[in-house]
Amino acid sequence: MTAPCFPDKSKPAGGASAVTTWQRPDGRTAYRNLERPALWRAAIAKKSGIRNSGNPNPRARHRCEYDHLPTAGCSTFAHPAGKGSASNWPSFAIVNSPHCCNGNHYSTNAALTGALWNLLRDQQKAFSQIAAWAPDRFNLGQGGEARYADALMVSGEFLRCTWRTATPGAAHIPGG
Amino acid sequence: MMGSKLTLNGHPFQIIGVTPASFYGLEVGQKFDVAIPMCSQPVFSTKGPLTDNPVAWWIATVGRLKPGWTVERASAQLDSISPGIFAATVPGQYDAIDKKITVRSI
């Protein structure tokens, strides 16, 4: 059976619109450009084990595994747990808003818009280093069959904050 | 590899460095093949840049506390600046409740 093409534009059961999904290489389904109806959000939350959370990605339940990453001392930012959310899980209060669900919820850990990130970076006083990232996927091909690369869009402080220096491995591309 | 070029969605990028193969980024179970500057996002956008979209929640963040700062103190500082940040950036149809940014240790 051939894996679904990327992106496979489809709609979740129960309605909604403008939902883009695709099958990841590991067999899980990823979601982009979401305009999620309440029923669909609830179904995803139930599937992912996150009560009352608008986070559509099942990977969110693995956040506790961050403890195993070589990034001790780093902190992540999230909106506070919304009403009724499990206290140990981050949730996105704005997504929980009854007036919400028109946002584009990209990263597994996405918590900020571009404008929020810019102001947070400029006005925060607590952090000596602060960085941002967002995953995406790009076609490496120049015509013909597509070949996709998993990519991170990162701010200039990303590698410095994660204490990584340039050595052989994954490519890092200029700017930031 | 250094200095060579590759194309991402048809846009050329020059490789300026490589990270350890053991570094998979910050998301458990995920990996990345390339890292590109966030400011380049608009060149890939077909519906307007995400950077300017007030309802595109696409950025994850991480930071290192300054010496002497705790998570609680950092959250308090972020609490103090959150109202102004949200008022300046988030559209009015969103609830005012819980519009603040908090910090979690990882």
Q: Which of A93, A109, A168 has the CB atom closest to B60's CB atom?
A: A109
- Check whether A122 has a pLDDT greater than 90: yes
Query: CB count, 10 Å around CB of B82?
Result: 22
Write the pLDDT tens digit of every residue in A44-94: 333 333 333 334 443 332 232 222 223 333 344 433 333 323 333 332 333
The pLDDT value recorded for residue A88 is: 30
Write the pLDDT tens digit of every residue in B36-48: 999 888 888 877 8
What's the distance, CA A176 to chain centroid? 19
Closest CA to B44 of A100, A159, A25, A106: A106
Write the pLDDT tens digit of every residue in A3-34: 322 233 333 333 333 333 444 445 454 444 33
Give A148→chain B minimum CA distance, Å.
Answer: 9
Q: Helix and strand tally (H, E) in chain B?
A: 2, 7
ipTM, two decimals: 0.88
Q: Which residue has the higher pLDDT, B51 or A37?
A: B51
- Determine, for residues A66 and B106 on separate chains, whether the beta-carbon distance falls below 8 Å: yes
DSSP states of B66-77? PTT--HHHHHHH
- Check whether A40 has a pLDDT greater than 50: no
The pLDDT value recorded for residue A128 is: 87
Give contacts of B88 with chain A, Cβ < 8 Å.
Answer: 115, 119
Beta carbons of A37 and A101 less than 8 angstroms apart: yes
| Mutation for testing the B interface, residue in A127, A142, A150 having most B CBs under 10 Å | A127
